[in-house]
Amino acid sequence: MTGHSTYQPTNGFMKWLERRLPIGGLVHSSFVAYPTPRNLNYWWTFGGILSFMLGVQIVTGIVLAMHYTPHVDLAFKSVEGIMRDVNYGWLLRYVHANGAAMFFLAVYVHIFRGMYYGSYKEPREVLWILGVIIYLLMMATGFMGYVLPWGQMSFWAATVITNLFSAIPGVGDLIVTWLWGGYSVGNPTLNRFFSLHYLLPFVIAGVVVLHVWALHVAGQNNPTGVEPKSDQDTVPFTPYATVKDGFMMACFCIVFAWFVFYVPNYLGHADNYIPANPAVTPAHIVPEWYYLPFYAILRAIPDKLLGVCALIGSIAILAFLPWLDTSKVKSARYRPLYRQFFWLFVITCIGLGWLGSKPAEGLYVIAARLLTVYYFGYFIVVLPLLGIFEKTKPLPNSISESVLGAKA
């Protein structure tokens, strides 16, 4: 997307089109000639996987919406209709439900990769913030999608999450009533969730375009964190990155298909096969696995308002990461101390996830509090101080030197 296109159309129609709408040149410079660092490892293939997953979710979602009825008396029934009477409806629904989980799995790998290699640092701050916005939109979309089948967990998840807004002092209850479209979670709530669940993926797609645009302006980071300096340091996107992304995407699809075809309900909750019943509260209300760390943080704080603030803060703080990390060195490869704290952070997130699935009582709460302290401490204390005190290893002069040096 930068500079003049080197695209030379050979075909007569493409020549004609190029003078009127240079879309061939745009695609060529973005996905064919685009220079990509030659030392990217497989952790860099998840961006492509995420675009693919967004596509899968939109396509299956559009077809599911043709068969789904957003009404409290019919939603559960229409989902069962999809499972039983729509041709390959079971496949569409299981691909969509497990696809959401795979989408989050891939986004977590993508985010942690960015953190490990310092991909959020100058000049990629806007690229990173756009990513945080996409992640927020994904969370909203995933949550509202989970409500649509109108099972017990759908209903109670909607109740718990919308009730968080009641913690806002003064106007909390008013806002909750406004969100519900009534005095409890009901048909208006389900209708607006369906509407927004259909809308938000297209908003995500729009922000993804900005994300990719920002990426193509700043260029990709790479495992050394040293910016490409010459043509020696890069290879053209096609065929190098395309084939590598393609291979990893196929491997990812094996995992995806395993869940869809063999354990399609593993990541779901049995209670969501019980139709929503406002009169019966499930024994444990738990969100989908990908929200569990944040749910643990919410419940770790004894005060409701502060808990909600911690929940919002735990995500919002990601947007400030480029400025909280004061180190000039990008990649964890050359930051021995940072690397330790990083993996501790990953373990903390997994630990919080597990605690989020457990009842908020006894030792679980104490453990969740300790991990919450580290979660925030990592951003507010560890990262700013590390940049000052850490002795980093010497950086290679260029990407090609690091590649050839390792080989020699």
Mark 328-367 as b/e (b = at least 16 C-beta within 10 Å): ebbbbbbbeebeebbeebeebbebbbbbbebebeeebbeb
Which of 71, 304, 339, 369 is close enough to bind other proteins by CB under 8 A? 339
In the shown chain, the binding pattern of residues 224 to 263 toward other proteins, with x for contact by CB under 8 A and - for none, equals -----------x---xx--xx-xx--xx-xx--xx-xxxx
* Rounded Cα gap, residues 234 and 224, in angstroms: 13
Q: Which is nearer to other proteins, 15 or 77 (CB)?
A: 77
Question: Could you tell me the maximum CA-CA distance found in the chain, to the nearest angstrom?
Answer: 73
Q: Which is nearer to other proteins, 194 or 256 (CB)?
A: 256
Q: Give me the least distance between CB of 223 and other proteins, in Å please.
A: 7
Q: Give me the least distance between CB of 378 and other proteins, in Å please.
A: 15
Which of 180, 299, 358, 378 is close enough to bind other proteins by CB under 8 A? 358
Binding of residue 407 to other proteins (CB under 8 A)? yes
Stretch that binds other proteins, among 50-58, 90-98, 188-196, 321-329 (CB under 8 A): 90-98
Q: Is the peptide bond before 123 cis (omega within 30 degrees of 0)?
A: yes
Q: Give me the least distance between CB of 382 and other proteins, in Å please.
A: 17
The torsion angles phi and psi of 234, rounded to 5 degrees, stand at -125, 160
Q: Give me the least distance between CB of 30 and other proteins, in Å please.
A: 19
Which of 34, 116, 193, 378 is close enough to bind other proteins by CB under 8 A? 116
Give every CB contact of residue 374 below 8 A, 6+ residues apart in sequence: 344, 345, 348
Q: Is the peptide bond before 239 cis (omega within 30 degrees of 0)?
A: yes
Cβ neighbourhood burial of 67 (10 Å; 0-12, 13-18, 19+): middle
Judged by CB under 8 A, the number of residues near other proteins is 52
Contacts with other proteins in 297-336 (CB under 8 A)? 333
What does each C-alpha distance from 1 to 28, 105, 206 come to in angstroms?
9, 29, 17
**Listed residue (88, 90, 91) closest to 80, CA to CA:** 90
Q: Which is nearer to other proteins, 62 or 251 (CB)?
A: 251
Q: Checking DSSP bridges between strand 35-37 and strand 234-236, what pairing results, if any?
A: antiparallel
In the shown chain, the binding pattern of residues 262 to 291 toward other proteins, with x for contact by CB under 8 A and - for none, equals xxxxx---xx-xx--------x--------
Stretch that binds other proteins, among 181-189, 203-211, 317-325, 349-357 (CB under 8 A): 349-357
What does each C-alpha distance from 205 to 33, 156, 166, 208, 211 come to in angstroms?
23, 29, 31, 5, 10
Stretch that binds other proteins, among 18-26, 46-54, 297-305, 342-350 (CB under 8 A): 342-350
* Rounded Cα gap, residues 206 and 223, in angstroms: 28
Q: Give me the least distance between CB of 143 and other proteins, in Å please.
A: 22
Stretch that binds other proteins, among 25-33, 99-107, 192-200, 340-348 (CB under 8 A): 340-348
Which of 1, 199, 316, 347 is close enough to bind other proteins by CB under 8 A? 347
Q: What are the helix (H) ranges across 258-303?
A: 292-300
Q: Are the C-beta atoms of 71 and 277 separated by less than 8 Å?
A: no
Which of 118, 142, 201, 223 is close enough to bind other proteins by CB under 8 A? 223
Q: Give me the least distance between CB of 106 and other proteins, in Å please.
A: 16
Q: Are the C-beta atoms of 36 and 220 separated by less than 8 Å?
A: yes
Angle between helices 187-218 and 152-163 (to 10 degrees): 70
Point out which residues bind other proteins (CB under 8 A).
38, 41, 77, 80, 83-84, 90-91, 94, 116, 223, 235, 239-240, 243-244, 246-247, 250-251, 253-254, 257-258, 260-266, 270-271, 273-274, 283, 333, 339, 343, 346-347, 350-351, 354, 358, 362-364, 367, 403, 406-407
